[in-house]
Chain A
Amino acid sequence: MSILRLLASRILLSALTLLIVSVLIFLILEALPGDIATRILGRDATAKALEVLRSQLHLDQPPLTRYFHWLGNLLHGDFGASLATGRPIADVLGPRIVNTLLLSLFAFALYLVLALVPAIIQATNRGKAVDNVISVITLVLLSLPDFLLATILLFLFAVAIPILPALATVSENSTWPEMLRAMILPATTLAIMMAVYAIRVLRDSLIEVLRSDYVRLAELKGLRPAAVLWRHALPNALVPALNVTALNLGFLIGGVVIVERVFSYPGFGTLLIDALQLRDIPLIKATVMISAAVYVAANLVADICAVLLQPRLRTR
């Protein structure tokens, strides 16, 4: 199968996945008890006022019509208006998404370093003290819940040794250095939480690959150890780690919600929590759809990377 055909079929599958997600979200929120109009206007609202609002929100139409209406708007990038504030959701979401994207990128860059470096150290020093020490550390970190890790880091670097801000509050007026400084703690928390999984997978697959015949031949060709590692061992060892990374991105979305909350970072995650607490249904729909899209896209990218790393998959 050519790579283009593979790509096309994967993209089609991803679109289908998102379509199913949209149906599920719609159904679940539809099944929630309570009348939206009553919730907005309060119990004392007159029947007339409720009626007007319902027709404004198209709530008087059958569910199927509303679903396609919502989906059609979604495809045009129109998420509707927030129930709580009445502002268009796109306006509310925009800056939050940018903030979270910055935080995620920062966290992801840290994640790559935090996953690769210990795994390489472990795999090349298998069975030695340093391997065991890193194993124990990753196990401990693995068993910590994310909010606890966030709190510990917060305590260590903002309270005990006050070098970083405890609150990562940023605004449009913040300068770049301020932004970076604010993001260090939340990004580190996220990166560690993701890396601990990846380290274990990557260590094992790297050990496997380092034992392989082609790595031995590369060594016996007289290549420098760095060349053996980067050209022959790592590209092949990364494949299993890629899937973990894709799953990790899913975690990143969940993790962002909690970590942003702990550090009061004005991102997508805090918005989602606010939306849930206020039962702001259009906002909930929009945020969940975006999370799903990110997740699906991450898996798509991981699959494509796997094909790029393994030429064998291209001709199969």
Chain B
Amino acid sequence: MKPLIEVRNLGIAYGRPGSWTSVVQGVSFDFARGEAFGLVGESGCGKSTVAYRLLGYGTVNSLAQTGEVLFDGVDLLKLDARSLARLRGNRIALVPQNPTTSLSPGMRVGAQIREMITTHRALPAGMTMERRLAELFTLVGLPDVGHRYPHELSGGQQQRVTIAMAVSCNPDLLVLDEPTTGLDVTTQRQIIQLLQSLRSSIGMAMLYVTHDLALLSQIADRVGVMYAGQLVEIAPCDALLSAPVHPYSRGLIASIPTIDGASSGRGLRGMLRRDQIPSGCKFEPRCDFAKADCKGTPQTLEPVGKERAVACMRWKDIEPAAAELTRAARSPQPDTEVGAVLSVEDLALSYQSPSVLRTFLGKADSIVARDISFELKPGEVVALVGESGSGKSTIARAISGRLQPRSGGIHLDGNALAPVLRRRSVEQLRQIQYIFQNPDASLNPRRRIRSILERPLRHFGIKSDGETLETVLESVGLHAGYLNRFPEQLSGGERQRIAIARALLVNPKLLICDEILSALDVSVQSRIVELLQSLKKQHSVAMLFISHDLAVVQQLADKVAVLYRGELLQMADTATLLESPLHPYTQILLEAAPGLRKDQYVSRSPATPGETSTGGQGCPLAGRCHRQIGKICAESRPPVRSTETGFIRCHIPGSQLVRGNELAAA
């Protein structure tokens, strides 16, 4: 069959006339109508740059230097603006990365879809615009939200709107730029499910750009792996995931944490740095299999077997990746006799202070978290998991003293902590350290690393000699040379290491890690996890690890607390929780987490969708739960039952929950 898209020898450079820097070289691939092709790679590898050229789009400061991009035989790189506009949206449509910033903020979403259909005169004959819009919303599983503004929709709904928009003119090709990156695990899976069903019903081709191989495995037929602007391997998706050939693909796949703890060989070391790329094989500095001549010999894609090509001259010498199934080594359980570092009791949180006026007006206070109780022992890692908006970070804010709790107590080492930051003693402040999600924003860009690190030492009056800083840098895997650099000279992973070093310097008892991995690439993530594991062993520091990524949690945490709409639904040992989730919500979360195998995921439909609860009355999961047993779920608070390693909050008795688990597994 004639391919729909043929990319031949594409080379792209950034810069301006006279000083172009080549970022993409010699990229060639093709795919047919109805086929889903994936492009993966670390951030900065050029995958998005290539993908946008399939829409004939390049930023002002970029230039397609070589090659062609043939769409149905027409070279998109040579088309004028007018002809491109006729194709865009109409025959080639985009699903953007971030729906929140991609929908026009001042325009109702219905109008945004309508203008696209009108522009391309793509209204099917004999149909009114209103009916077409309703049809599109139904297609993507949304109620009629046409009259809403983008900010009135959730992230998942916004992404559904952009998908409805993308398919509104029945395009031949859909370009998807990391369409699920900003979304929750459960929402991610629903979007993937939607895309799969759209593909089979509409039959369009897809180019799926992502750094998330696990998600790609659910949808792509073939995958191209990009590294430093070049394709290093093209293979059918299953073949790539089960037996990657190129050393980079192997490292990439090994870096992905999986929920069952399986790891296949070594992860990637180092990172993509343009200033260190050699003239020959670009992967040579990070390759475990490199020989002397790799450095000087450029590699090109050579076919190896059926439908498969790889850019590595040594691929035959490397034995096939051994998929060893080893369970990640777990540190011994902390001694249960030791007193808790942190204990949180019956914490209730809200962003509004209670006021007589509101009570008088009969307005319910919006409580964002209630009945939160848990403990952390020295050296223990407790993971707080849940979808966005479940109140994870809010709880962390309260513990760190930045949000005054409505009620309940927080104790550090047995002593009650003052609810507000300024009432806490300097010593208490030192003992709790916080690491933020985004290291770009949490390090002062105008200070050198040395002064960033010295500041907490001076603040807490900790004596230090010349070696203190070097030692701490070493413990996070960096060297003294970093002291004189500015944050912007560091990569994202290195910056996060500095943030961790800063927290460790003052020798805290408790580290609060608030989604500290989510802004990083998988290969960088896996090395930060290794770092945290070793820190846990050496420093016996307790960690409250907030994350939505169960696979990372599996590697790091001793215990997991599952949070949903501000309530802890389950708490258990990590292994116990992952093996037998018991609580219906934990099941939902686990099932949504993608593995590397295609798994025909179908999201569970609620048992009694109508019966939802209002805050503080029934079970927060009522209306969404697939095992809801009746009115009781919506009307009365579920009892807390203790289990072997924790507790569970559900109306269904424990024995039945266990049976439900066995049924689900069968």
Contacts and interface: CB of A to CB of B under 8 A. Distances in A.
Contacts of B165: 221
A222 B120 contact: yes
A218 B107 CA distance: 12
B119 A212 contact: no
Interface stretch (A35-43, A109-117, A186-194, A308-316): A308-316
A310 B165 CA distance: 22
Interface stretch (B84-92, B201-209, B410-418): B84-92
Given A220-B55, A222-B89, A309 B119 contact: no
Interface stretch (A80-88, A90-98, A229-237): A229-237
Interface residues of B, number: 32
B198 interface: no
Given A223-B116, A231-B115, A311 B106 contact: yes
Interface in B94-139: 94, 96-98, 101-107, 115-116, 119-120
Contacts of B103: 214, 217
Contact of A222 (B86, B149, B152): B86
Contacts of A224: 85, 119
Interface string A200-224: 0000000000001110111111111
Contacts of B115: 221, 223, 227, 231
B228 to A, nearest CB: 25
Interface in B145-200: 149, 151-152, 162, 165
Contacts of B57: 216, 219-220
20 contacts: A126-B60, A213-B97, A219-B88, A221-B119, A221-B165, A222-B86, A222-B89, A222-B90, A222-B120, A224-B85, A224-B119, A231-B107, A232-B104, A232-B107, A235-B106, A236-B106, A310-B105, A311-B106, A312-B149, A312-B151
A310 B104 CA distance: 10
A216 B119 CA distance: 16
A220 B88 contact: yes
Interface string B73-91: 0000000010011111110
Contacts of A309: 106
Contacts of A312: 105, 149, 151
Contacts of A225: 81
Contact of B94 (A220, A232, A235, A315): A220
Contacts of A235: 106
B154 to A, nearest CB: 14
Given A216-B96, A222-B89, 4 more contacts: A214-B101, A214-B102, A311-B105, A311-B106
Contact of B87 (A218, A222, A236, A310): A222
A221 B112 CA distance: 10
B282 to A, nearest CB: 29
Interface in A268-316: 309-312, 315
Contacts of B96: 213, 216-217
B76 to A, nearest CB: 12
A182 to B, nearest CB: 40
A129 to B, nearest CB: 14
A308 to B, nearest CB: 9
A82 to B, nearest CB: 49
Which of A212, A220, A310: most chain B Cβ within 10 A? Answer: A220
B106 A223 contact: no
A311 B107 CA distance: 8
A231 B119 CA distance: 13
Nearest to A238: B106
A213 B101 contact: yes
Contact of B98 (A213, A220, A236, A315): A213
Nearest to A215: B104
Contacts of B93: 220-221
Contact-size category for A:
20 to 34
B149 A311 contact: yes
A217 B106 contact: no
Contact of A221 (B60, B89, B98, B149): B89
A41 to B, nearest CB: 59
B106 A213 contact: no
Contact of B101 (A126, A212, A219, A315): A212
Contact of B119 (A217, A222, A310): A222
B151 A315 contact: yes
Contacts of A315: 151-152
B104 A214 contact: yes
Contacts of A232: 104, 107
A223 B107 contact: no
A216 to B, nearest CB: 8
Interface in A216-258: 216-225, 227, 231-232, 235-236
A268 to B, nearest CB: 36
Contacts of B162: 217
A311 B165 CA distance: 21
A260 B119 CA distance: 49
B152 A217 contact: no
Contacts of A126: 60
- Of B57, B88, B105, B165, chain A has the most CB atoms within 10 Å of the CB of B105
Nearest to B152: A315
B406 to A, nearest CB: 23
A216 B90 CA distance: 16
Q: Which of B98, B106, B107, B162 has the most CB of A within 10 A?
A: B106
A126 B81 CA distance: 19
Nearest to B165: A221
Contact of B88 (A213, A222, A236): A222
A220 B177 CA distance: 13
Nearest to B98: A213
B85 A213 contact: no
Contacts of A213: 96-98, 101-102
Contacts of B107: 231-232
A1 to B, nearest CB: 14
A202 to B, nearest CB: 16
A310 B89 CA distance: 26
Complex A-B, nearest 3 residue pairs according to Cβ-Cβ distance, in ascending order: A222-B89, A222-B88, A221-B89
A165 B474 CA distance: 80
Contacts of A218: 104
Given A232-B107, A309-B106, A220 B89 contact: yes
Nearest to A309: B106
A220 B119 CA distance: 12
B254 to A, nearest CB: 33
A151 to B, nearest CB: 42
B415 to A, nearest CB: 40
B526 to A, nearest CB: 29
B119 A223 contact: yes
Nearest to B108: A311
B385 to A, nearest CB: 29
Given A220-B94, A221-B89, A222-B87, A214 B105 contact: yes
Contacts of B89: 220-223
Contacts of A227: 115, 119
Interface in B21-73: 55, 57, 60
A246 to B, nearest CB: 19
A231 B97 CA distance: 22
B151 to A, nearest CB: 5
Nearest to B166: A221
B106 A310 contact: yes
Nearest to B60: A126
A214 B93 CA distance: 14
A227 B60 CA distance: 20
A227 B119 CA distance: 10
A97 to B, nearest CB: 35
A15 B98 CA distance: 43
B120 A217 contact: no
B167 to A, nearest CB: 12
A276 B116 CA distance: 60
Contacts of A212: 101
Interface in A121-157: 126
Contacts of B152: 315
A217 B94 contact: yes
Contacts of B149: 311-312
